[in-house]
Amino acid sequence: MSFARRARVAVFASGTGSNFEAMMNNTDREFDVVMLVCDKPKAHVIGKAASFGVETVILDPAKFPSKEAYETEIIEKLQRANVEWVALAGYMRLVGDTLLEAYENKIINIHPSLLPSFPGLNAPQQALEAGVKVSGVTIHYVDEGMDTGPIIAQEPVTVFPNDTEESLLQRIQQVEHVLYTRILSQITRS
Ligand code: GRF
């Protein structure tokens, strides 16, 4: 039995929040999710965080004079809650220098393809259009680029001949929902 202190993690999300929900429900999770940061006031993930009693910070970037001001406010909230790690899960904006410097090597992202193939939006659709037989999931450190930071873990997902964007995304997300918690448990432990 381990008595190691559990890391304090904030999840950043803009949308549905299926990864957030899976993380919260995962009984093998070895870290605490202490905050949800959301940039979209109407996002579904906000209701999910409320149902789990997770503190939620909703900040609309349009209401700030600059990206730096927006991220400075986020950092203040993170530090007040003693957040040590940031996990992006469908956070639909690039992280800026302000946040990257405050949480150097402590921000990770999950992406629905085997990077460096198919970065950006609609990765499953990109995979279908390219005709690849295997796609998958990538977890990586976040840098200033779009889905470009050092890769931490990858898991393949077979593309079936009759796959649609929806069916492929669904199978990819089944993998995401297990892999993200496993990898976060590993890297936050060390
Ligand atoms: C996930 O597929 C993730 O890979 C991508 O955005 C999606 C978020 O989905 N970055 P959800 O909001 O967790 O359901």
Q: Average pLDDT of 76-84?
A: 98
* Ligand 1 pocket mutation, candidates 11, 19, 111, 115, criterion most atoms within 8 A of CB: 19
The pLDDT tens digits of the residues spanning 90-141 come to 999 999 999 999 999 999 999 999 999 999 999 999 999 999 999 999 999 9
Residue nearest to atom 1 of ligand 1 (CA): 90
The pLDDT tens digits of the residues spanning 32-76 come to 999 999 999 999 999 999 999 999 999 999 999 999 999 999 999
pLDDT in the model for residue 67: 98
Which atom, in ligand 1's list, is nearest to the CA of 14? Answer: 12
Please check the confidence at residue 3 and state whether its pLDDT lies above 70.
no
111 annotated active-site: yes
Residue carrying the six token digits 């730096």: 68
Residue 19 Cα, ligand 1 centroid: separation in angstroms? Answer: 6
Strand 31-38 with 85-88, pairing:
unpaired
Which atom, in ligand 1's list, is nearest to the CA of 19? Answer: 13
Please check the confidence at residue 9 and state whether its pLDDT lies above 80.
yes
Cβ contacts of 173 within 8 Å, gap of 6 or more: 18, 19, 112
CA 132 from chain centre, in angstroms, equals 24
The pLDDT tens digits of the residues spanning 142-178 come to 999 999 999 999 999 999 999 999 999 999 999 999 9
Number of other CB atoms surrounding residue 25 within 10 Å: 11
Which atom, in ligand 1's list, is nearest to the CA of 22? Answer: 13
Residue nearest to atom 4 of ligand 1 (CA): 111
Res. 2 pLDDT band, cuts 50 70 90: low
* pTM, to two decimals: 0.96
Q: What is the DSSP letter of 62?
A: G
Exposure letters 133-170 (e unless 16+ CB within 10 A, then b)? eebbbbbbbbbeeebebeebbebebebeeebeeeebbe
Query: Ligand 1 pocket by C-beta < 6 Å: which residues?
Result: 13, 15-19, 89-90, 110-112, 173, 176
* Ligand 1 pocket mutation, candidates 176, 179, 181, criterion most atoms within 8 A of CB: 176
The pLDDT tens digits of the residues spanning 11-21 come to 999 999 999 99
Residue nearest to atom 10 of ligand 1 (CA): 90
Residue 34 Cα, ligand 1 centroid: separation in angstroms? Answer: 19
Res. 4 pLDDT band, cuts 50 70 90: confident
Please check the confidence at residue 1 and state whether its pLDDT lies above 60.
no
